[in-house]
């Protein structure tokens, strides 16, 4: 047995009784990860300088070419138009701003930022930013929020009618956002409906903002160019561009967060854009924090079949060929170093491979160590409701299903407080 197989075996012995015993395929899991600190040509990386000059750009380029696709650096001029401001939102505790960001003179290309900032503050505040699934109005029942006019994938009445949000959709995902809790903790929160950037449906590539990325005559992204996740992540960086212009926000303390497919997106945004000060992956699973070579739960082939629009054309080459992918997803976490990162799983979300999500933090730890920072201390994940991470990588396994809940937010706020608010 090679050392990784032995390690995998020991981990199984240690944790199976706790939470994974009901999943017989765990015993079959065996894999060999690419070494995060060795270049493709075999050079060992021992210093921060070599990591930042050689290996980090190499890994970023490998993800761009093979996984999410490259998003253009082409300078798209942004125009920020305030839509509304109220200093008396959420019972007077918060200021609500809504800002439209135009990406072109053609006014169909825009995204709407919804932003809440605590009124109790004496300096610019740190802010959580993430995309939402249902239109900005779903994040809180606040009737001042403009109802999105974009297509949504939901069609269940009365909240949605013909795939458009109605007044009944106000606040339907407020438990996912916990705006009041975030404000009370002294943070701002910003969100954009991901469908403002690209609809989450197959063949949607020309229905969002991506046509602005094309070179002359181009009709679709090349095999190594962006999928929807690349476009969504690009949008998160544009929210940060706005934040750098808003004096109420400390743009050096912006925490990018996402759940599930939007967790995959938050990781990619944080990996590419070093301005994000902290990154949170909530149940991001395959194509996010989970180690793909474990082939546990969802696999590349299954995901590419159900959601062919998420990743780039080249990613399809790795359907059922995880071991040939020149990267694995611990390296996506490593790209975030030295910034704090938090990975969260849920006990019943085996589809997202909780152990694989934890292990990506563990296998990214040597890169944090290069900076003299503490990552995770053991390959053995904690039990349910036992958050770990007194260094710069945090992790918890929440009891329950695939979701983002107030419990998750409590952990994120506690972790963020160590860096930004206390
Ligand atoms: C599906 C998909 C996952 C994804 C999830 C979500 O379950 O298989 O990869 O993370 O949807 O975004 O909710």
CA of 422 to the centre of ligand 1 (A): 35
Residue 421: other Cβ atoms inside 10 A? 13
Cβ of residue 298 lying under 6 Å from some atom of ligand 1: yes
Residue with tokens 């995902």: 173
Cβ of residue 266 lying under 6 Å from some atom of ligand 1: no
Quote the percentage of the chain above a pLDDT of 90: 91
Residue 98, strand partner residues: 84, 114
pLDDT category at 8 given cuts 50, 70, 90 is: very low
Atom of ligand 1 nearest to the CA of 298: 8
In contact, 299 and 258? CB cutoff 8 Å: no
The answer on pLDDT for 3 being more than 90 is no
Cβ of residue 353 lying under 6 Å from some atom of ligand 1: no
Average pLDDT over residues 357-377: 98
Look up 260 and say whether it is catalytic. Answer: yes
At 9 the pLDDT is 42
pLDDT category at 29 given cuts 50, 70, 90 is: confident
Cβ of residue 260 lying under 6 Å from some atom of ligand 1: yes
Q: Compute the CA torsion angle 355, 227, 240, 283 (nearest 10 deg).
A: -20
Q: Give nearest CA residue, ligand 1 atom 7.
A: 351
The DSSP string of 197-257 is T--SSTT-TTTSSGGGGPPTT--S--TTB--HHHHHHHHHHHHHHHHTT-TTEEEEEEEEE
At 336 the pLDDT is 98
Residue 44, strand partner residues: 38
Cβ of residue 285 lying under 6 Å from some atom of ligand 1: yes
Query: What single DSSP character describes residue 326?
Result: S
How far apart CA 282 and CA 259 sit, in angstroms, is 5
Look up 163 and say whether it is catalytic. Answer: no
Among 192, 287, 276, 286, residue whose Cα is nearest residue 232: 192
CA of 351 to the centre of ligand 1 (A): 8
Largest CA distance in the chain: 64
In contact, 301 and 360? CB cutoff 8 Å: no
Atom of ligand 1 nearest to the CA of 261: 12
Cβ of residue 303 lying under 6 Å from some atom of ligand 1: yes
At 422 the pLDDT is 58
Average pLDDT over residues 31-41: 96
Residue 165, strand partner residues: 160
At 25 the pLDDT is 63
The answer on pLDDT for 23 being more than 50 is no
- 220-264 tens-digit pLDDT: 999 999 999 999 999 999 999 999 999 999 999 999 999 999 999
Which of 25-34, 268-277, 344-353 has the least mean pLDDT?
Answer: 25-34
CA of 118 to the centre of ligand 1 (A): 32
CA of 263 to the centre of ligand 1 (A): 10
Average pLDDT over residues 271-278: 98
- If one residue of 284, 285, 305, 344 were mutated to test the ligand 1 pocket, choosing by the most ligand atoms within 8 A of its CB, it would be 285
Residue 326: other Cβ atoms inside 10 A? 16
CA of 261 to the centre of ligand 1 (A): 6
Average pLDDT over residues 137-155: 97
At 240 the pLDDT is 98
Cβ of residue 286 lying under 6 Å from some atom of ligand 1: yes
Q: How far apart are the first and last CA of the chain?
A: 47
Mean pLDDT of the chain: 93
Cβ of residue 129 lying under 6 Å from some atom of ligand 1: no
φ/ψ of residue 398, rounded to 5: -85, 150
Average pLDDT over residues 294-311: 97
The answer on pLDDT for 217 being more than 70 is yes
Average pLDDT over residues 317-324: 98
Helix (H, G, I), strand (E, B) or coil at 319: coil
Contacts of 27 (CB under 8 A, 6+ apart): 12
The answer on pLDDT for 17 being more than 90 is no
Which one is catalytic: 148, 169, 260, 284?
260
The answer on pLDDT for 18 being more than 60 is no
Residue with tokens 């093979």: 66
CA of 246 to the centre of ligand 1 (A): 33
At 72 the pLDDT is 82
Which one is catalytic: 23, 163, 309, 402?
402
Cβ of residue 349 lying under 6 Å from some atom of ligand 1: no
Among 272, 225, 273, residue whose Cα is nearest residue 251: 273
Atom of ligand 1 nearest to the CA of 283: 10
Average pLDDT over residues 384-388: 98
Average pLDDT over residues 259-277: 98
The answer to whether the peptide bond before residue 349 is cis (omega within 30 degrees of 0) is no
In contact, 343 and 394? CB cutoff 8 Å: yes
How far apart CA 104 and CA 75 sit, in angstroms, is 11
Cβ of residue 196 lying under 6 Å from some atom of ligand 1: no
CA of 152 to the centre of ligand 1 (A): 16
User: pTM, whole model, 2 decimals?
Assistant: 0.94
How far apart CA 371 and CA 374 sit, in angstroms, is 9
Atom of ligand 1 nearest to the CA of 286: 9
Atom of ligand 1 nearest to the CA of 402: 13
Q: Give nearest CA residue, ligand 1 atom 13.
A: 260
Average pLDDT over residues 192-203: 97
How far apart CA 354 and CA 398 sit, in angstroms, is 10
> CA 350, 177, 393, 35 torsion: positive or negative?
positive
The answer on pLDDT for 199 being more than 70 is yes
CA of 147 to the centre of ligand 1 (A): 25
């Amino acid at each position: 047995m090679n050392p990784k197989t032995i390690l995998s075996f020991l981990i199984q012995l240690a944790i199976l009784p706790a939470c994974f015993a009901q999943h017989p395929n765990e015993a079959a899991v065996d894999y060999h990860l690419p070494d995060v600190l060795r270049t493709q040509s075999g050079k060992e990386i021992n210093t921060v300088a070599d990591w930042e000059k050689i290996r980090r750009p190499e890994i970023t380029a490998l993800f761009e070419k093979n996984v999410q696709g490259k998003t253009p650096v082409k300078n798209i001029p942004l125009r920020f138009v305030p839509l509304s401001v109220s200093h008396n939102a959420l019972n007077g505790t918060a200021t609500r701003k809504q800002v439209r960001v135009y990406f072109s003179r053609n006014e169909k290309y825009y995204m709407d930022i919804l932003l809440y900032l605590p009124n109790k503050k004496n300096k610019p505040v740190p802010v959580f930013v993430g995309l939402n699934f249902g239109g900005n109005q779903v994040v809180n029942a606040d009737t001042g929020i403009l109802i999105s006019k974009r297509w949504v994938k939901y069609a269940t009445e009365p909240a949605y009618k013909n795939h458009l949000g109605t007044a009944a959709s106000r606040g339907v995902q407020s438990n996912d956002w916990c705006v009041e809790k975030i404000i009370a903790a002294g943070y701002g929160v910003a969100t954009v409906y991901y469908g403002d950037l690209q609809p989450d449906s197959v063949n949607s590539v020309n229905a969002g903002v991506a046509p602005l990325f094309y070179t002359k005559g181009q009709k679709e992204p090349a095999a190594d160019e962006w999928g929807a996740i690349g476009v969504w992540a690009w949008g998160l960086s544009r929210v940060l561009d706005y934040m750098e212009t808003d004096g109420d926000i400390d743009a050096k303390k912006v925490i990018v967060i996402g759940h599930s497919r939007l967790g995959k997106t938050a990781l990619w945004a944080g990996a590419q854009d070093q301005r994000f000060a902290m990154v949170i992956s909530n149940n991001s699973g395959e194509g996010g924090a989970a180690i793909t070579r474990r082939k546990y739960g969802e696999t590349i082939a299954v995901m590419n079949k159900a959601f062919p629009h998420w990743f780039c054309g080249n990613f399809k080459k790795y359907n059922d060929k995880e071991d040939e992918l020149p990267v694995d997803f611990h390296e996506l976490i490593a790209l975030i170093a030295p910034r704090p990162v938090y990975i969260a799983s849920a006990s019943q979300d085996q589809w997202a491979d909780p152990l694989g999500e934890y292990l990506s933090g563990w296998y990214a730890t040597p890169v944090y160590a290069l900076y003299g920072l503490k990552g995770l201390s053991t390959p053995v994940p904690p039990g349910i409701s036992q958050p770990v991470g007194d260094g710069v990588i945090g992790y918890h396994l929440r009891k329950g299903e695939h979701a983002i809940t107030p419990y998750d937010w409590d952990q994120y706020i506690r972790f963020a407080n160590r860096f930004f608010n206390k």
